[in-house]
C-alpha cells in the first residue's frame, strides 16, 4: 500500500471516477468526517470544546460530520458559519441539521436557550459576535469559563474552504481565518485544518497573508503537493491522511508518497514464535569520543529499542572505561586502537558517526569506503565524508546517510533547490539512500518514490534526537528491512514516540528529551502493529 500525492485536478478525477462507479457522495463525506474525528481523538483523549468554522461547501460538511462524532463522545461543539445558512450547499445544510438534532452530551453545564443544560451547538449566523445577545457572545463566554475550570482542550476545525480554492482570500472567509488565528494565539486553541488550511494553495503551497495556521492538517484521501512545499510547513503542521479506499489514484507509479501508518504496517511483520537473537541483526555502533560519550549511548539504545538482536559498541581505548560503565547493560562495549581494525568485524549493519569527532578522519573514511556491510552514517561521519564526497561512489556496501539541514549543506554545498529536489539530485549523483531530517523528513533513493514523513513535533529540536534515529534505523535494517524502508519507518517511529511523550505523557515541547523517545518507542511499535 502506498499513499501517493495528488494534485487538485487528479483528486477531482479520482472523486468523479468513484461517483461514476456508484460511490455515494454523502457516504464518502461521512467517512472523511469520521477520519477527522479519529485524528482529533488520537491526540486529545479528554473531551473539551470544539469550534467549527464552516464555509458553505463539502469541506464544511466534512467538518460538521467530525463535530457530530466528537459530540457523541462528550465534546462541546460550537459552529461558526461564515455564510448565511440559506447560501450553503444542500449536503452541508443536511449535516448541520443532523448536528442540531443530536441529543447533547451532558458533561457539566451552561444554560441553553431552551432552559435546559446543554453543551451542544451554538450557531453564530454571523462571524462577528454581538455582546450580550442570547446564543452568541454570552454562551461563548460561558463556554470559555467552562474550559478554564475543567482544563479541557480547545480545538478548532477549519472547514472554510476545500481543495481548489486559490488565494487571495475574500471576506467573509478572510475574517474567519483571522478569527481562527487569533483564537490560536490568544486562547491557546489547537487548529485542525480539514483537507488543507484555508488560504493555502493545495497545488503550489503558496499562502494568503491571512492563511490559517494549522497545528494539524487532516487531508482527505491523498496528500496534496502544496501541503508538502517547504514554505507551507508552518501553516500545515502535523500531516495526517484519512484513507478512503473508494478513491483510487490515477497514478500507476507514484513519484512521491507520504509515510502514513497503513502503508508502514506491512514493513515489519510479527515475529515468529521461534525467533532468536541472531535472526534479529547484529549492529555495530561506531560512535563517541572524549566529551561526546552520550552520542554512543543513545545510538546503541536506539538500536536495542528498535529490536536489534545484538548491539556492539566500538570505542577508542581512551573512553572505553567511561562508556563501559554507562552503556546499556544489554550492549557489548569493545575498545579499539584503530578504526581500521573494524574491517575485520562482521556485524549485519554498521551505525557510524555520532559524536566521533574528526581526529581520526582518515580511518573513518576508509571504514566508510571499504566495509562490505550496510552502514548508517550520521553526524561526524557525514562531516568527514563531506570533505571527500567522491568516496560514496566507491563504497563496498550499501549506505544510508541521515543528515540534518546543516550537514546536508556540507554534503551538497552548491544546491539551492527545495529540500525535495536537493535530496533527489543527491541520490542521482550517488548510489545511496538519503534521510534528510527536518520538520518534514524526506527519504530518497534512486528509482524509489520520494517519501515524506508525517510524524513528529517541534519538541524534537534538541541535540541527541538524531543519534537515536541512527540506532533505530540500524536496528531495523538489521532485521532485514531495506535502507529505504528502515529510514521511512525509523523516522515515523521516532516522530510518533515524540508525539506520544507529549500527548499521552507528561512532557511538553520544551521539556521533551531524547530519552523520552526511547521510553515511548514501545508504544509507537504497538501502534504500528495495530
- The range of the structural domain enclosing residue 511 comes to 278-528
Task: For residues 251 and 300, state if they share a domain.
Answer: no
On whether both 339 and 193 belong to a single domain, the answer is no
Q: What is the DSSP string of 177-235?
A: HHHHHHHHHHH--EEEEESS-TTB-TTT--B-TT----SEEEEESSB-GGGGSGGGHHH
Same domain, 226 and 308: no
Cis peptide before 479 (omega within 30 of 0): no
Both 87 and 168 in one domain: the answer is yes
CATH code, domain carrying 28: 3.40.50.10260
Same domain, yes or no, for 327 and 227?
Answer: no
State pLDDT tens for residues 407-465.
Answer: 999 999 977 899 999 999 999 999 999 999 999 999 999 999 999 999 999 999 999 99
Q: Is residue 401 within 8 Å of residue 377, measured between CB atoms? A: yes
Q: Are residues 312 and 188 part of one domain?
A: no
**Is residue 263 domain-resident?**
no
Average pLDDT over residues 502-527: 96
CATH number of the domain bearing residue 451: 3.40.1190.20
- Whether 19 is in a domain gets the answer yes
SS3 433: strand
Q: Do 196 and 314 fall within a single domain?
A: no
If asked whether residues 58 and 162 sit together in one domain, one would say yes
Total count of domains within the chain: 2
In angstroms, the CA 461 to CA 152 distance is: 27
Mean predicted lDDT score pLDDT of the chain: 91
Cβ neighbours for 183, distance < 8 A, ≥ 6 positions apart: 51, 154, 156, 189
273 lies in some domain? no
Give every CB contact of residue 56 below 8 A, 6+ residues apart in sequence.
82, 83, 87, 88, 89, 92
Among residues 442, 447, 448, the alpha carbon closest in space to that of 420 is found at 442
Q: Where are the alpha helices (DSSP H) in 255-396?
A: 261-264, 293-305, 317-326, 361-370, 380-386
The answer, yes or no, to whether residue 342 has pLDDT greater than 50, is yes
Cell numbers given for 341: 581494525
Answer yes or no: do 92 and 123 share one domain: yes
Q: Is residue 272 part of a domain?
A: no
Whole-structure pTM value: 0.92
- Report d(CA 452, CA 97) in Å as an integer: 39
Specify if 261 maps to a domain. Answer: no
| Same domain, yes or no: 293 and 247 | no
- 150-193 pLDDT tens trace: 578 999 999 999 998 999 999 999 999 999 999 999 999 999 99
Q: Are residue 208 and residue 285 in the same domain, yes or no?
A: no
3-state DSSP call for residue 389?
Answer: helix
- Determine how β-strand 49-54 pairs with β-strand 76-81: parallel
Clarify whether residues 307 and 240 are in a common domain. no
25-65 residue pLDDT tens: 999 999 999 999 999 999 999 999 999 999 999 999 999 99
Give the per-residue pLDDT at 104: 53
Amino acid at each position: 500500500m502506498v499513499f501517493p500525492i495528488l494534485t487538485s485536478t487528479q483528486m477531482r478525477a479520482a472523486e468523479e471516477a468513484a461517483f461514476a462507479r456508484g460511490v455515494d457522495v454523502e457516504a464518502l463525506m461521512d467517512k472523511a468526517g469520521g477520519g477527522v474525528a479519529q485524528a482529533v481523538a488520537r491526540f486529545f483523549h479528554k473531551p473539551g470544546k470544539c469550534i467549527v468554522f464552516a464555509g458553505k461547501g463539502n469541506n464544511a460538511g466534512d467538518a460538521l460530520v467530525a463535530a457530530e462524532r466528537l459530540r457523541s463522545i462528550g465534546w462541546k461543539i460550537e459552529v461558526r458559519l461564515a455564510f448565511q445558512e440559506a447560501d450553503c450547499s444542500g449536503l452541508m445544510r443536511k449535516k448541520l441539521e443532523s448536528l442540531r438534532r443530536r441529543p447533547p452530551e451532558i458533561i457539566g453545564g451552561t444554560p441553553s436557550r431552551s432552559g435546559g443544560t446543554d453543551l451542544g451547538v451554538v450557531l453564530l449566523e454571523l462571524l462577528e459576535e454581538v455582546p450580550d445577545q442570547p446564543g452568541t457572545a454570552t454562551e461563548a463566554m460561558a463556554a470559555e469559563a467552562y474550559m478554564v475550570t475543567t482544563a479541557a482542550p480547545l480545538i478548532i476545525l477549519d472547514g472554510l474552504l476545500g481543495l481548489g480554492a486559490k488565494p487571495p482570500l475574500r471576506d467573509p472567509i478572510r475574517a474567519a481565518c483571522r478569527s481562527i488565528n487569533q483564537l490560536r494565539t490568544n486562547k491557546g486553541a489547537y487548529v485542525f485544518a480539514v483537507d488543507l488550511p484555508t488560504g493555502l494553495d493545495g497545488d503550489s503551497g503558496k499562502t494568503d497573508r491571512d492563511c490559517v495556521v494549522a497545528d494539524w492538517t487532516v487531508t482527505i484521501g491523498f496528500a496534496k503537493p502544496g501541503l508538502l512545499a517547504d514554505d507551507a510547513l508552518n501553516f500545515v503542521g502535523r500531516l495526517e491522511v484519512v484513507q478512503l479506499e473508494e478513491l483510487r489514484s490515477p497514478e500507476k507509479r507514484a513519484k512521491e508518497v507520504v509515510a502514513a501508518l497503513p502503508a508502514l504496517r506491512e514493513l515489519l511483520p510479527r515475529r515468529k514464535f521461534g525467533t532468536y537473537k541472531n535472526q534479529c541483526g547484529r549492529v555495530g555502533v561506531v560512535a563517541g569520543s572524549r566529551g561526546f560519550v552520550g552520542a554512543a549511548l543513545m545510538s546503541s539504545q536506539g538500536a536495542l529499542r528498535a529490536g536489534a538482536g545484538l548491539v556492539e559498541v566500538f570505542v577508542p581505548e581512551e573512553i572505553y572505561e567511561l562508556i563501559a560503565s554507562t552503556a546499556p547493560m544489554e550492549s557489548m562495549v569493545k575498545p579499539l586502537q584503530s578504526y581500521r581494525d573494524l574491517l575485520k568485524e562482521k556485524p549485519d549493519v554498521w551505525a557510524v558517526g555520532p559524536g566521533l569527532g574528526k581526529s581520526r578522519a582518515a580511518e573513518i573514511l576508509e571504514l566508510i569506503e571499504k566495509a562490505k556491510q550496510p552502514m548508517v552514517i550520521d553526524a561526524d561521519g557525514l562531516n568527514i565524508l563531506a570533505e571527500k564526497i567522491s568516496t560514496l561512489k566507491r563504497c563496498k556496501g550499501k549506505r544510508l546517510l541521515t543528515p540534518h539541514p546543516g550537514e546536508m549543506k556540507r554534503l551538497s554545498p552548491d544546491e539551492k533547490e527545495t529540500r525535495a529536489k536537493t535530496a533527489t539530485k543527491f541520490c542521482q549523483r550517488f548510489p545511496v539512500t538519503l534521510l534528510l531530517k527536518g520538520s518534514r523528513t524526506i527519504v530518497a533513493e534512486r528509482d524509489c518514490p520520494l517519501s515524506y514523513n508525517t510524524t513528529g513535533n517541534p519538541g524534537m529540536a534538541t541535540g541527541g534526537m538524531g543519534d537515536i534515529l541512527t540506532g533505530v534505523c540500524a536496528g531495523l535494517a538489521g532485521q532485514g528491512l531495506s535502507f529505504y524502508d528502515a529510514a521511512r519507518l525509523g523516522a515515523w517511529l521516532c516522530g510518533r514516540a515524540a508525539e506520544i511523550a507529549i500527548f499521552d505523557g507528561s512532557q511538553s515541547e520544551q521539556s521533551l528529551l531524547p530519552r523520552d523517545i526511547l521510553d515511548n518507542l514501545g508504544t509507537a511499535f504497538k501502534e504500528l502493529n495495530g
